[in-house]
A and B are shown apart, each in its own frame.
Chain A
Amino acid sequence: MKRLLIPALIALAAGCSDNNSNSNPRPDETTPPEPEPVVNAIFEVGVVNLTNGQPLSPIALALHDDSFAAFAVGAPASAGLELLAEGGDNSQLLEEVEGRVEASGEAPLGPGGEETFVLELDGDDVSDLHLSVVSMLVNTNDAFTALNGVDVSAMEVGDTWMVNAVAYDAGTEADSEAAGTIPGPADGGEGFNAARDDAADQVTMHSGVVTSDDGLPTSVLTQMHRFDNPVARFTVTRTQ
């Protein structure tokens, strides 16, 4: 209200200095302008599984502010990330985000597969907007790939970029590759287990799987499960 009063006072003062202007009253400035229709910002995220033998667990995606990070190298994994990285269940991580938009794939994304997600904001405010995408390599103990809170606030409509993503190790489960410890189809074993028995309780990059064909006789994995970086490709486009 104060803002409206000040121009009105100025108009009055101007009127005082010019006696002939009284017959031309100014238009009523207190009428609110027509509200412009709000266009929701939309981001499309394409995911390609670049591996030979590692299905990606249902992709978890979120747009959030910089108060959230899915993980940091050298820091312990959150409970939600542990659940995702050991068992492919992204539900708890998506709860931890408390973001502006969350989404999840409905099924694992197989090797060579491609999937596109549409993230629509409520409104067009993209300030302090960050994108995280996380998914488990399911034929491993606790490997995952991710986009970790990439700043998308400067993206204009039509902007697009692509990044190749590496494999991380959640550090919550030893990489034994033993029968019964891997939830993917190579084993059908246990997924999440609350015990944290890796060398150090911290996220690092993944060292790759050894497999029974390459020096680990007790591994249920074979050469076809081996992978190298990058393991996934993310393409992000702001479409609206």
Chain B
Amino acid sequence: MADTGTAPGPAPSSLRTPLLFVTVLVVSTSGLVYELLAGAYSSYVLGDSVRQFSTTIGVYLFAMGIGSYLSRYVKRDIGRRFVEVELGAALVGGGSVPLLQLGAAYTDAFAILLYGTIIAIGTLVGLEIPLLMRILKEELEFDELVARVLTFDYIGALFGSILFAIVFVPSLGLMRTSLFFGLLNCGVAAMGVTLLSGLIAPAVRTRLRVSAFFLALGLGITFAYADRIIDYTEQALYPNPIVHAQQSRYQRIVMTRGMRGTQLFLDGNLQFSSNDEYRYHEALVHPAFAATQRHERVLILGGGDGLAVREVLKYPDVREVVLVDLDPAMTRLAREDAFLRELNGDSLGDPRVRVINDDAMVWLDERARAGGQGEGTQSTPFDVLIVDFPDPNNFSLGKLYTRSFYRILQTAMSDASAVVVQSTSPLYARQSFWCIEATMREAGLVTHAFHATVPSFGEWGYVLARRVPFEPPGEPLLAGLRFLDGPTLASLFVFGPDMAAVPVETNRLNNQMLVRYYEREWSRVE
């Protein structure tokens, strides 16, 4: 970096002092940027940005105090120590975001790592200014010195805070911003060796320059390969090797494969594991078929993997299946991926199946509005409706579990139809589960809740419903299923005391209670 290879020796004194002030500026800018990076990154990982920012800033400032205090123990070799502190800041500060990212993926002690990093950076930055002031005290009067150093220090802080939000984070992202400022610190260290050459022994100078060079090289390489690191950490989220990953317009679709089958994840949430998905999908589809006489027209909302369709097509009286899934990338994958096609029996390629890529709520709403003028099957109600959305972990999904949604859903039903809704775990997310059930009842449906054990998911829940009172089904209409027979099906409607109904508020579009229940309950499990 800044080493130009010129003969070592004091820089011309006319330039030396201004350059040292430039150093103050860079030092304080990068210090502030590290602090903001730690605050921003921790709010991503731990949430609650108010708390993260306030604790980060507090701990950081306190650590600067530690550094300032420690500066009194530096008695000799001030020039050399200053450069070493710079190199330390370059290493810890520059490497902070990559380190935190790896820490979030591989360790359970993210908070320890976070505050360790903040304290280390704060201490080093706290050392810098006192050391620099002592170096500069030879050149300037005390009052002039304090005024100028602090001025540049605060200007640097302003630079840092403005550039951080406006320039660096938008254009470089968090990781590259941290590496970039690490490189800047390396540059200051290298320049410092030259500027302070009078204070540093020649052999030490060489050692410091070599250290600065290798550190800059390391940071530079990481800077260039930052994207690879992100891929690497995504792998860390999954227990099995990733075999397919794509970012669709709506979600991240990841498939992994391991000893116990293939798994599909949407936005990091497990959708199925091939070794036990039959339990989930048999419980999703067959009780609903057993709860109604006619099965000619079937509506599936969600379920773009085609596995529910596979179960549906086992009934010879099914004449038409409409599958509405938001993401064309998902339904395309279900049609084209060799493994998925084998697992779903190429169900989406069946001539009875029509795939529509749309938001289920909007599609139902528009269908209901057009209902009056609809011809033929357009306005005919469906006989069996299967609602298989991902769990309500965000507002966009949460709306698909609201009273409004279940009201609109009923416009596609007759008194003879049955609907089943996958309803997350009644064991791990008990309030969420019963909230879905209560919301369906408030929307005017008659419900019977049931549950099944799916080892990959744990204890899983469903709600079966019709517009008129009905008895829960006694046995499945098909023989030869792997999981369900008569006695098993009847047992699914029995809830033990640890999963029994609890009082809940219902889920409305304007409160999205379910998303709140769900976040609270699953954060306790995970």
The finding on whether chains A and B are genuine partners in a shared complex, rather than unrelated, reads no
Chain B residues with a Cβ under 8 A of chain A:
none
Residues of A within 8 A of B (CB): none
